[in-house]
Structure 1
Amino acid sequence: MLSLGQLLIFGLLVNIGSLVKSSDNCTLRPRGSTKFPKNFSLGVATSAYQIEGGWNADGKGPSIWDEFTHENPDRIKDRSNGDSAANSYQLFDLDLKALKELKVDHYRFSIARTRIFPNGDVSSRNQKGIDYYNTVIDKLLANGIEPMVTMYHWDLPAEIQKLGGFTNSVIINYFIAYAEELIINFGDRVKTWITFNEPMQTCKPGYGEGGSAPGIKSPGVGDYICFNNILKAHAATYHLYRSKYFEKQGGRMGITLDTFFGVSKTNNEADVDRALQYLLGILAHPIYSKTGGYPEIMVKDIAKNSQAEGRKVSRLPDFNEYWKATIRGTFDFLGLNFYTSKYVERPSEPLGENPSMLRDYDIEETADPKWLKAKSNWLYCYPLGLEGLLKFVREEYDNVEVKITENGWSDEGELDDNNRILYYKSHLQAVLNAIHDGSNITSYSAWSLVDNFEWSKGYTEKFGLYSVNMKSPKRERVAKKSAIYYRKVIETRSIPDEF
């Protein structure tokens, strides 16, 4: 197989329009400059459990995803797990080679919590895990690549889950201790920290619906408690960093949230706003709004529904004035993961079981059959949605600095991944258009560097710029056509029609 460099040398210029038979909904016209700002950072993202493997190597303890996949293989589409994955723990140099070929400005990766504290407690501190990430960070910096580090990407130590995980407030102090260990060991070189990745995907399927690790089914109760504790843990970590380490280290810290963008068939802005408040505002409003606390619409709805259920208090554990003030303003930027859009409208009949977040949400989601669809059944190409989301964030949260921390497309794993190229082209254009309109966007991370373990879908859906030979112990990485295109974006600081 040819390397990315060889493909670039021998490849022909190909017009994207000739590659993909698609609807106009997956294309976007530029407004203003077609060049990214001078200091705009382009990179890629991964997460530890999805690529590292080495699940019990060098003292690493079990996480909730280790236990979930081992004990419930039927819950994973191909009955696989992340035990070996792309084996980046032992083969990081292959990832580094790919990063250098792409010429990325930054690399967003997460730290496996159970490599640092195998049982979740400071008493289990594991120097070999710390040594591994020191090596990763040093090699990135030696090659001019900025490390963008996520502290938590869904791999809670199994021992902490025995205490209730994110439904027990003791998780706050456990997370602070873990975060401080990372800051002490890596903060002299890591200048961009993300506390949590996608709390919505930690809490709703993990503690509400039960479809993801740790598999707790407590809809409309456990998920809300989980949100509450994650927001408190994030805020406490931010204050610790600013008060104790910022003066010496000078880094920046934020949280990464995710949402789709709601599109109304009837231009009903109330439905669009409702969807965004429930899916993004539940986590963004307490941190990024001027008033703090949960969105008013959620507080009222859930209190009303709780009363109708015979409860004396709301299922949504709202914050007292101390916690509102403590959480509000705990950011240097907003990390935003965006993949898709959906139509949203109020349903004719209540959805979901009672109680549940879905019942409180009271929005029906559908997709346009004309939209280009990925391998994932939830993923469609509609770049106007990203523009709409960035406009909402700009107006709702005082034009906070945004880092696009994930954006990507799934397929069967083909090397001629033309739809992924079209997706990246249109969504990068959406970012440029939003910048033209005044949005404060400073970086973009493509998901993902390599094909990885995709949670409940196992290895049946591929998001990587590089294919990984999962049948080989060497886990060879092979550049896809999209890798060639993305390198061209980085080299030219623009969105080329040809590559």
Structure 2
Amino acid sequence: MSDSEAISGHFRVDFMWGTATASYQIEGAHDADGKSPSVWDMFAHKEGAIVDGCNGDISCDSYHNYKDDIELIKQMKNTHYRFSLSWSRLLPTADSSAPNMAGVAYYNKLIDGLLANGIEPCVTLFHWDLPRCLHDKGGWQDDFIIEKFKEYAKFCFDHFGDRVKMWITINEPHVVAAFGYGSGIHAPGVQDPMSGCYQVSRTMLLGHAHAWRLYDSEYRAKQNGVISITLNSDWAEPANPANQEDKDAADFYLQCTLGWFAHPVYVDGDYPPKMKEAIARKSKEQGLEKSRLPTFTEEEKKIIKGTHDFFGLNHYTSRVCSPVTEETKAMVLHPDLEALVYPNEKWERAGSVWLFLVPWGLRKLLNFIANNYGNPKIIITENGCSTKHPHDNPGDVANLKDEQRCRYIKSYLNEALKAHLLDGVDLRGYFLWSLMDNFEWAEGYTERFGLHHVDFNDPKRKRTPRNSAKLYTKIIEENGFSAPPDVTDGTI
């Protein structure tokens, strides 16, 4: 059997099957019942920040339609549902002694409703929507945020931990750092690629670590849950797998993206050596006395190292990688990144300009994680495929057949099965992004990842299942594939 052939087989009997969402992307009710603004509330109203000029003020209106969401999840036979809490809905002033009880009540109703329908909640504490009041005081760029995040985590453990048994501290810190504080194309829109992105990576790692330590020392024994961080990564394939320079470039790219946060948590509490060396060298070339990459004290390294119960992975696509040359150095993603990454022109593109269908990349990435980070329990906390929608009518083009997404789901899950059955990767669960169409950050409503179409022109935000939702249910019912699927076919 060749590596490209699909296989039959099943995942663990206790495999987690879920879908995922994020608070700002689906809840709406941006100023209802005492909620204060987040940085995304602020950023989405900034002229030119969002492709279609829209925002998340209403979005899917899940704040009022959460019962409908639960019914969608139940119909798909998901065992789990991953969602995030809105920090500014729960603590409008970021002070845990002055909570917004309407926000607490909303999440209690959501959690209780899920459990009543046999669905386990997986809760993300921070999925990018930092309270604006904290940003105005420095936010992730100031060390005070570490203690504030710990305070927020404690509040959530106290109010929801008796029923929530799976926690994620921070979603994709790499994206927050690179897009929120580097390029500035995400909230809060800070453009400081040479220092800001590294500065906030330090505080997010320490914020995560302190929240994990708090749960481990004060809550784990009585609440019996698990807690980790979720990291995003493409797979980096050497342009020529037989060429050592291409292999080195690909490894460097992975160390400076996935490893930026994975190495501290899963290896030794510090940034990857290759990343530290490269930035120190670049800083010296710029005439700086010390590296732009912040340092951790020995005590901080001890606090960060080992703060995980599983490896949360968000993966969507892959890239080809080669060394940077004089001719290509202007094309690199970041001045410190000594690797050129680009898509293979033969790969099929989805609705997002950056998303290509490369299912075998997932299997390779899962093996990379197993081999480099101590063979951890891995949960794929996001994986999905987008379609493109017109700028001028966010409710148009339901595309209920969504054949490309069906092919994506079959092919990626089959590669995940290969990693589990053939390679011995300890894969524990899979969450599809996303339960339904939603506000897709800087792309607004022009890109859709939903298993369910949402009519944003309908005041009730009607949800309609796509074929991909039905396909996903079929895979869940089989706990894998009873027969090798036709991964080239987009039908159910």
Please give the range of the TM-score, normalised by the shorter of the 2 chains.
Answer: over 0.9
Q: State the match for 2:21 in structure 1.
A: 46
1:122 aligns with 2:96: yes
Output one character per residue of 1:87-117: Cα deviation in whole Å (capped at 9) or x when no partner. 0000011111111110101000000111111
Report if aligned partners of 1:192, 1:253 keep a CA contact under 8 Å in 2. yes
1:37: how far off?
A: 1.6
1:477 paired to 2:463: yes
Using the alignment, how far apart are the partners of 1:91 and 1:51 within structure 2? 10
- Once residues 196 and 229 of structure 1 are traced to their aligned partners in structure 2, the CA distance between those partners, rounded to angstroms, is 11
Once the two structures are aligned, what percentage of the paired residues are identical? 42
- Write the distance in 2 (CA, Å) between the matches of 1:357 and 1:98: 39
* 2:274 corresponds to which of 297, 302, 324: 297
**SS of residue in 2 equivalent to 1:400:** coil
Partner of 1:188: 162
Q: CA deviation at 1:28?
A: 4.2
1:370 corresponding residue in structure 2: 346
Aligned counterpart, 1:443: 429
Task: Give TM-score, length-normalised by structure 1.
Answer: 0.92
Instruction: Give the match for residue 137 of structure 1.
Output: 111
Matched, 1:213 2:187: yes
Q: Is the aligned partner of 1:152 residue 2:126?
A: yes
SS at match of 1:262: strand
1:454-469 pair list within 5 angstroms: 454-469=440-455
Q: In 1, are the aligned partners of 2:249 and 2:338 still within 8 Å (CA)?
A: no
Is the aligned partner of 1:391 residue 2:367? yes
**Equivalents in 2 of 1:220, 1:191: separation in Å?**
38
CA positional deviation for 1:382: 0.5
- Are the counterparts in 2 of residues 264 and 345 from structure 1 also a CA contact under 8 Å? yes
For residues 6-39 of structure 1, give each alpha carbon's deviation from its aligned partner in whole angstroms, at most 9, with x where no partner exists: xxxxxxxxxxxxxxxxxxx9x94245x5212211
- Check 1:319–1:271 CA distance in 2 against 1; reply closer, same or farther (3 A cut): same
| Aligned residue number for residue 265 of structure 2 | 287
Answering whether residue 439 of structure 2 is matched by residue 453 of structure 1, we say yes
Distance 2:330 2:35 in 1: 39
Deviation of the 1:351 alpha carbon: 3.6
SS at the partner of 1:342? strand
The question of 1:406 aligning with 2:382 is answered yes
1:253 to 198, 217, 227: 227
Give the equivalent residue in structure 1 for 2:297.
320
Question: In the aligned structure 1, how far is the partner of 2:247 from the partner of 2:299?
Answer: 33
Tell me the CA shift for residue 124 of structure 1: 3.5
What residue is the counterpart of 1:79 in the other structure? 53
Equivalent residue number for residue 427 of structure 1: 412
Residue of structure 1 in register with 2:313 after alignment = 336
The separation in 2 between residues aligned to 1:422 and 1:224, in whole angstroms, is: 37
Residue 272 of structure 1 corresponds to 250
Aligned AA for 2:296?
A: F
The alignment partner of 1:326 has SS state of helix
SS of residue paired to 2:229: strand
C-alpha distance in 2 between matches for 1:185 and 1:28: 47
Does residue 347 of the first structure (1) align with residue 324 of the second (2)?
A: yes
Give the distance between the partners of 1:474 and 1:231, measured in 2 at CA. Answer: 40
User: Which 4+ stretches in 1 moved above 6 angstroms?
Assistant: none
Taking the aligned partners of 1:329 and 1:319, their CA distance within structure 2 comes to 15
Per-residue deviation, 1:362: 1.8
Are 2:81 and 1:107 equivalent residues in the alignment?
Answer: yes
For 2:284, which of 304, 307, 314 is the aligned residue? Answer: 307
Find the aligned partners of 2:4 and 2:406 in 1 and give their Cα distance.
Answer: 13
Kindly state the Cα deviation for residue 357 of structure 1 after the two structures are TM-superposed. 7.5
Secondary structure of the equivalent of 2:334? Answer: helix
Specify the code of the residue in structure 1 equivalent to 2:418.
N
Query: CA offset at residue 321 of structure 1?
Result: 1.0
- Work out whether residues 55 and 83 of structure 1, in 8 Å CA contact, stay in contact via their aligned partners in 2: yes
Alpha-carbon distance in structure 2 between the residues aligned to 1:479 and 1:386 = 26
Conservation of the 8 A alpha-carbon contact between 2:184 and 2:190: yes
Contact 2:269 2:300 in 1 (8 A): no
Cα distance in 1 for partners of 2:194, 2:124 equals 27
Q: Could you tell me how far apart the structure 2 residues matched to 1:465 and 1:446 are?
A: 9
2:163 match: secondary structure: coil
Structure 2 residue identity aligned to 1:419: Q
CA distance in 2, matches of 1:340, 1:286: 24
Unmatched 5+ stretches in structure 2: 389-397, 486-490
**Matched residue count:** 469
Read off the aligned partner of 1:431 and give its amino acid letter: A
Gaps of 5+ in 1: 1-24
SS at match of 2:430: strand
For residues 307-346 of structure 1, the C-alpha deviation after alignment (integer angstroms, 9 at most, x for no partner) is 1111111100021211111100011011000000011111
Provide closer, same or farther for how the CA distance between residues 486 and 28 of structure 1 changes in structure 2, counting only shifts above 3 A. farther
Letter of the 2:177 counterpart: C
Structure 2 residue matching 1:75: 3-state secondary structure: coil
Give me the whole-angstrom Cα distance separating, in 2, the residues matched to 1:292 and 1:240: 17
Distance 1:358 1:351 in 2: 10
Pairwise CA RMSD = 1.6
